[in-house]
Structure 1
Amino acid sequence: MRRSILALSTALAVTLSPMAVAVAEPDPVATTAAPTEEGTTVEPSTDATVSPEAGAGPSVDDGSADAAAPAADPVDPVVLDPDAPVLEVDQRFGFVEAQADLLGEPETVVEAEVTALPAPQPGAEVYPRPADGSYDVQGGGFGHGVGMSQYGADGAGRAGLTHRQILSFYYPGTVLEERPTGTIRIGVTIDNDGVTRVDHRAGLVVSGAPGSRTYALPPGHTQWRVTASSTSSSSCTLEGLTTAGTWRTAWPSGMPRSCPVSFSSPSEGTVDLFLPSGQRRIYRGTLTATHRGTTSLATVNHLPMQHYLRSVTMAEMPVSFHAQALRAQAVAARTYALRGAGGTGYYDTCDTTACQAYRGFGVRNSNGTVTSYEHANSTAAVDATDRQVLTYDFGSGVRQLATTMYSSSTGGHTTVGGAGHGYLTAHPDPYDAVASNPRSSWDAQLPVSRLEARYGIHRVERVQILRRDGHGRWGGRVLDARVEGFTASGAYTWAYASGGGLQMANAWPGNADGLSSTYFTIAQQGTVDRIAGGDRYATAAEASRAWGPGTGVVYVVNGGDYPDALTAASRAGVYDAPVLLTRPGTVPAQTRAALRRLSPARIVVVGGTGSVSTAVAEELRGYTTTRDLTRVAGGDRYATAAGLAAYYPAGAARVYLASGQDYPDALAGAALAGHERMPLLLTRTDRLSVDTAAALQRLNAREVVVLGGPTAVSDTVARQAAEHTSSGSYRRLAGTDRYGTMSQVAAQFPAGRTPAYVASGQSFPDALVGAALAGGLRGVPIVLTAQDRVTNATGTTLTRQSPQAIFVLGGPGAVDGTAVARLADLLR
């Protein structure tokens, strides 16, 4: 379960939803229940451990906490290829996927016809080559950051939390309960020479399968080994080493001459195993030579779960940690082992950090003494939590074992554990910064020479961070990046880089100034850039460059008027999809070019035929790879918004409600609603429309969040809307003007995220496409400003956000040079 940074050269990158953004399953049409696919193709007439030794708040006492049940049960265990290399990740339960720069050689692309750096990706964090040749990096944590921080568990224990409370904090929604554990089979993968060899002792006996009849071993031998000569288990041979130093076949009389062959010592309870290095490792229980279809045998250790955990708990967590932390570690390790992570058909889990570190009972030294891999503190924690495991209701009503991921240090913020693992949540971790933790926060170097060597680029000139997971400081952990430069002949070249790939270019602890997680930022002077074209259609097309070819869905709206567009931006955020603009009767050339590049699987047109004609819709259909086009429309803007809201399930945490008679509040709210995957509805100032009221009634959210003050949405309307919630309550996000309201909305996002997206608060198109880009893809607010100045509210918002980069949507006619110059003063 630990994740060794030193072994990350063979690792996979942690890719967890929403870290790895996948296009959700399409949503089917319905009017009274939440559909799962947006409309049909017919057009209505109108719409992802590293231990502390190698280097994680308050909770309830019963070991449980509220959490939304995931949509599906975890996948069934998968039998891994026993001959495949051990990967330093948990790939059995959907946590990871391969990244090209971690497995195999990174792929470098050379564009021979390009001899200058192209424009950066819209919205990317852009870091030119530093003058001294090394990027200054600030980061936090050691390991993947999913689930429990081991240092955090220690900090929580020292803060007075019990192990139940620690587990509830790191695995919210799980329940601590007791289950029988019995014995466990451990693949001893460090015994990798294909032969099982043990030392002879007076009490040693041999058998076939563990628990079967035992046989006394013939006398006159000092060691025993089992080998195989073919793909048949009957080719196994038991040999003894004579006192003369000769190996000879030595089957006990009457014993079946076939694998498996098991060694045990009823009198001593342990067996000494010779590792390929010559070390004698002592294991409790039984050691079994297991045939696996080749001439290379596997060694499997069968022993009681409690004995296994004595070694694991000491290996995974320093014995000096708080007793409650050790207990939490024991429960997490027991649960994880029972889950069978990293197992095969012949063992339940392995002995490396790809599963959980397990070193057996100890090492027998050359002088006969024993260095123990068990400790009284760890053993006490294991015994005190006997049979305790964490379970979770995955939606079937039957509690199943949770997959209790953990790592050394979260850096102060956990990240999510993927679809189907609702108990592996992203949240601040105040306990991780315990005084003894050297990696809760750190400074590091990322030399360009290391990047050049890793990615095969003659001279690196720029790094772009394209995507983060959205959880914690700086926008979260780095997921995707691009390393760029030139060949020796001057041609532009670039390579995709995962966050793990950048980390491995100079990894800690192998390098004292290295990176120990993907949770980092590059400390460099920030930049202000524009995302702009010659008009609103071109600007939207430029913004869409943040998405690559093969985009799952693109939303298209009328660029000449705002009503239909307002809620389209929030819905696009659910799919992390771009919004493009069109004219009612023609598709602008820039939009056509963007669609050719994006090559989407489907297009959703928002608005009726008066906004986007049937002919335009049919032309747009031709740009999809599946001929899938949906129109979502209603009789007016309120009905259209309600139509989009029909694709959200009932019982959401909140629904956002904004004025449909003006756009600023809804634009600011669209980024937040899209980020949170919550519906956005529109209303008149003085009354709810029939469609809005019906949508509110069906959604039955816990609360209504009203965007803007009473002059935008009256108190009477807010109270009427609240009547359709399960709590009967509403709250406002409002300021004295549109910029003040925007600032209140932006404050709902975590502080310290980068980049920032700024658009005019006096015109809707640029902010519209920016809201989808900011809230959905990047997880940051859309910041509104005046055309010729930065308002106080805008300045306050950006100061809180503290961005490394700012992107201004639109040209000087939208946000002029005076305002842009002021924005530069607000960079981190």
Structure 2
Amino acid sequence: MHTPPAVRRRRSRLLRAGAVVVALVSVAAAAPASAVTSADPAVATTPTVATALPDPVPGAEVYPRPADGTYDITGGGFGHGIGMSQYGAHGAALAGLTHGQILDFYYPGTQQGASPLTSLRVGVLADNDGVLTLPARPSLAATIGGTTETLPAAPTQWRVRATGATTNTCSLDSYDGSSWTVHRSGTICPVRFSTTVGTVDVLLPSERRVYRGTLLAIWRSASTVGTANDVEMQSYLRSVVPAEMPPSWADEALQSQAVAARTYAARRSGGTSWYDTCDTTACQVYRGLGRRNSDGSITSYEYATTDGAVAATDGVVLTYRFSDGVTRLATTMFSSSNGGQVAPGSPDHPYLEAHPDGYDDVSINSRHRWSASLPVTALESSFGINRVERLQVLARDGQGAWGGRILKVRVEGVTSAGAYTAVDTSGDALRAARPWPTYSSGLSSNYFSIAPTVTTVRLAGADRYATAAAVADARYSPGVDVVYVATGLTFPDALGGAARAGVTRGPLLLTRTSSLPTVTRDAIDRLQPARAVVLGGTASVEEPVAASLAPLTTSGDVQRVGEQDRYATAAALSGYYPSGLAVAYVASGENFPDALAGAAIAGRDRVPILLTRAGALPGVTADALRRLAPGRIVVVGGTATVSDTVVEQLRPLASSGNVARYAGADRYATAARVAAEYPTAATVYVASGQTFPDALAGAAAAGRDGVPILLTRSDTLPSSTRDALSRLNPARAYIVGGTATITDGVRAAILDAMSR
């Protein structure tokens, strides 16, 4: 199929890294956490979503709803991209390739052969009114049942219409300018029309058209006849080639198109019981000889250049020797443009293989690379979703830029009642939601990328307990294996637990010493965990509180990990890990920031974090490391928190003797140094480096997600954190804590850093 080149649209808005979305997740209400999107962080401008979106599919490309309601798209090509690019054929011809070389490039392994089909029947689907109507012409004849009759000259028109449910029951009628009269009726279909000059005119709904060969009226139903054109292959191609490729293009490209079109037709591609192929883009575009004008002249749909290409390749088709040893016609698929990458065809057709195509980038091809806009309203209308909240690209074909053409995508959102809903569909369906050239800013293939939507999501509640519950509500789905519960008054017990929570993929929630906060209870009740683990002894979480967790689990199983001090508790948690680990992490137990950054990466690596004093390694920590026998040990924090003396005490406990230190000038730089161990991160967590409660829950979630946690001051984004955000280039940052711990000004600075 050929479509005229597109005009590139000048962008009406400038975006550095995509649109910006701000979301707030809160557990202030009894309902699950709500997400409110707003272009202005101070003003909620859209309806509340009653149900949080589930976690993204692992490995998916995730694109939240843009603030301006439009996804910005960069793509390539026009059409399916399989087989020959028509623009590419032209580019190859301009580069000096012959038509044989062009065909070898796009259909490797095929051979030239002779066509087994010298004439064919084309379904004229452009005649879609269910009646075949012809203007009277000299020598117009009708053949019925083997008998040919030259039709009377007096009527001005003739028609064939279906007249009954019995197969082939039709009526041949004449029109005298005022009324129709039955000329022949009964089981007379099919009726074939011909003339001595070799062309037949037909009155289509849109124009009077002239066809070479003969025209047939074929009974299709009690009320419908179909129109078909019996035509010689060469005459057919004289119309097809210029309809599929501009006749002004290079001769070798036109000859490539002639061979591909002849082969495609000879296979009867797109054929049915009553025609070999059709006249639309579903088969190949075919418009006959031309349009008859009111003065009797013909505006031709045939051109000298394409006639020459058809004649020069007379009878030539492409064949392929298949795995069964039989040589058959190839399926010579083609499309307007492939964007520089031939798409893979079916494995049953090895010659339709994926490979780069530098010829497609010819100067006249405006669809080699294109920009488009995909409004969420178009998605909502196409997929029946009240409000689209997110796209996830689940699968690409792996060929070319951006990971290849989009094969599977999930469109997610909410119903009018606020319930989560999703539709799994294809990249082609996204294109069809806003196609080019119907829309000048539309999509013309499934070969495209979506600009990242830079997003911050604030996970916050009225206090530390509610914030931890907000993290659990937003980031964890019901049915988790375990929840961890620690005191919200002090940090030591929870430091090792945050890393373990990341490994077991359960949230870390906070409690008061002698009573379970309602928000914590509600969060556990929603999650329906199989079991609960209490971190710390009874001085931190009293036994009645631990006992109250049992009915909130599906098994009634509540365990406690709590020893005489923080070092022993972390050591006890390390008992869940086998010996011979590749690495173990060690951080200060006397303050929280370094251990939280370490807990996230330990969760990612599925290894423990152990605690130490600044100047001496506790015996319980040393004993735990002897049992674990890690290949190496990583100390998180500078010499002020973990001295070089401790590093030397650790060295013999690593089987390789390798002890590394991840440290920066302060707690913020240390967290950034830990984040440097992540090449990139689609998501990051940001928490206060000045208070511990919010960061505990955030570190556990970051460890589960395999992403870093960064630290910030309440009113200023440290330069080390800013630099880490810019390097990681995340699409989403979860800000853990309310505006009292991380202000909206810092949130804006985080967005700015992510967008650089």
Place the TM-score, normalised by the shorter chain, in its bin. 0.5 to 0.7
Change (3 A) 1:117 1:377: same
Give a deviation string over 1:179-205, Cα, whole Å, max 9, x none. Answer: 343110001111122211111111222
**Correspondence for 1:351:** 279
**Correspondence for 1:247:** 180
Determine if the alignment matches structure 1 residue 168 to structure 2 residue 104: yes
Matches of 1:219 and 1:152, distance apart in 2:
51
Determine if the alignment matches structure 1 residue 265 to structure 2 residue 183: no
The CA deviation at 1:802 is 11
Change (3 A) 1:383 1:528: farther
Which residue, out of 317, 321, 325, partners 2:249? 321
Give a deviation string over 1:171-225, Cα, whole Å, max 9, x none. Answer: 111112223431100011111222111111112222136xx55322234222211
Secondary structure class of the residue paired with 2:248:
coil
Contact 2:168-2:190 at 8 Å conserved across structures: no
Equivalent residue letter for 1:176: Q
Matches of 1:410 and 1:182, distance apart in 2:
31
Whose radius of gyration is greater, 1 or 2? 2
Which residue, out of 105, 113, 119, partners 1:177? 113
Aligned pairs (5 A) from 1:286-297: 286-297=214-225
Contact 2:79-2:335 at 8 Å conserved across structures: yes
Change (3 A) 1:428 1:262: same
**Correspondence for 2:568:** none
Which residue, out of 80, 101, 118, partners 2:54? 118
The CA deviation at 1:386 is 0.6
Equivalent residue letter for 2:727: D
Equivalent residue letter for 1:260: P
Matches of 1:128 and 1:485, distance apart in 2:
10
The CA deviation at 1:814 is 8.2
Contact 2:702-2:709 at 8 Å conserved across structures: no
Equivalent residue letter for 1:319: P
Determine if the alignment matches structure 1 residue 137 to structure 2 residue 88: no
Secondary structure class of the residue paired with 2:305:
helix
Matches of 2:114 and 2:724, distance apart in 1:
61
Change (3 A) 1:493 1:318: same
Matches of 2:279 and 2:294, distance apart in 1:
24
Secondary structure class of the residue paired with 2:108:
coil
Equivalent residue letter for 1:403: T
Which residue, out of 284, 291, 294, partners 1:363? 291
Contact 1:463-1:484 at 8 Å conserved across structures: yes
Output the aligned Cα RMSD.
3.9
Which residue, out of 490, 496, 500, partners 2:428? 500
Change (3 A) 1:816 1:262: closer
Aligned pairs (5 A) from 1:71-220: 115-208=51-144, 212-220=146-154
Which residue, out of 370, 377, 381, partners 1:442? 370
Secondary structure class of the residue paired with 1:314:
helix
Matches of 1:408 and 1:363, distance apart in 2:
25
The CA deviation at 1:284 is 0.4
Give a deviation string over 1:225-259, Cα, whole Å, max 9, x none. Answer: 112211234522222222x53322334xxx99611
Matches of 2:99 and 2:180, distance apart in 1:
52
Equivalent residue letter for 2:4: E
Which residue, out of 284, 295, 319, partners 1:391? 319
**Correspondence for 2:3:** 52
**Correspondence for 1:330:** 258
Determine if the alignment matches structure 1 residue 511 to structure 2 residue 439: yes
The CA deviation at 1:418 is 1.2
Structure with the bigger RCO (C-alpha within 8 Å, sep 6+) is 1
TM-score norm. by structure 1 comes to 0.52
Matches of 1:762 and 1:455, distance apart in 2:
43
The CA deviation at 1:454 is 2.3
Secondary structure class of the residue paired with 2:364:
coil
Secondary structure class of the residue paired with 1:250:
strand
Matches of 1:208 and 1:182, distance apart in 2:
24
The CA deviation at 1:114 is 6.2
5+ residue gaps, structure 1: 3-50, 56-111, 530-541, 546-579, 581-661, 665-757, 764-785, 791-798
Secondary structure class of the residue paired with 1:825:
helix
Aligned pairs (5 A) from 1:440-589: 440-524=368-452
**Correspondence for 1:29:** none
Equivalent residue letter for 2:189: C
Contact 2:139-2:151 at 8 Å conserved across structures: no
Change (3 A) 1:235 1:663: farther
Which residue, out of 360, 370, 377, partners 1:432? 360
Equivalent residue letter for 1:198: L
Matches of 2:661 and 2:79, distance apart in 1:
46
Equivalent residue letter for 1:280: R
The CA deviation at 1:140 is 0.7
Matches of 1:113 and 1:350, distance apart in 2:
48
Give a deviation string over 1:294-347, Cα, whole Å, max 9, x none. Answer: 331111100100000010101111111111111111111111111111111121
The CA deviation at 1:810 is 9.3
Change (3 A) 1:154 1:803: farther
Matches of 2:294 and 2:171, distance apart in 1:
28
**Correspondence for 2:703:** 811
Equivalent residue letter for 1:231: A
5+ residue gaps, structure 2: 7-47, 458-475, 480-503, 505-579, 583-602, 609-658, 664-675, 686-700, 711-719, 731-756
Equivalent residue letter for 2:74: Q
Secondary structure class of the residue paired with 1:438:
coil
Matches of 1:803 and 1:404, distance apart in 2:
42
Aligned residues with identical type, % of pairs: 50
Contact 1:142-1:410 at 8 Å conserved across structures: yes
Change (3 A) 1:234 1:189: closer
Contact 2:83-2:334 at 8 Å conserved across structures: yes
The CA deviation at 1:52 is 3.2
Matches of 2:361 and 2:425, distance apart in 1:
29
Secondary structure class of the residue paired with 1:461:
strand
Matches of 1:443 and 1:802, distance apart in 2:
29
Q: How many positions carry a matched residue from both structures?
A: 467
Matches of 2:399 and 2:681, distance apart in 1:
16
Contact 2:49-2:418 at 8 Å conserved across structures: no
Give a deviation string over 1:144-166, Cα, whole Å, max 9, x none. Answer: 11111111111011011111111
The CA deviation at 1:133 is 1.9
The CA deviation at 1:276 is 2.7
Matches of 2:186 and 2:418, distance apart in 1:
70
Change (3 A) 1:124 1:259: same
The CA deviation at 1:484 is 2.0
TM-score norm. by structure 2 comes to 0.56
Matches of 1:516 and 1:824, distance apart in 2:
33
Give a deviation string over 1:479-525, Cα, whole Å, max 9, x none. Answer: 22122223344332322232122212222111111111111111125
Contact 1:184-1:303 at 8 Å conserved across structures: yes
The CA deviation at 1:459 is 2.6
Contact 1:503-1:517 at 8 Å conserved across structures: yes
**Correspondence for 2:586:** none
Equivalent residue letter for 1:269: G
Secondary structure class of the residue paired with 1:237:
strand
Contact 1:53-1:316 at 8 Å conserved across structures: no
Change (3 A) 1:759 1:468: farther
Matches of 1:802 and 1:317, distance apart in 2:
46
Matches of 2:705 and 2:226, distance apart in 1:
71
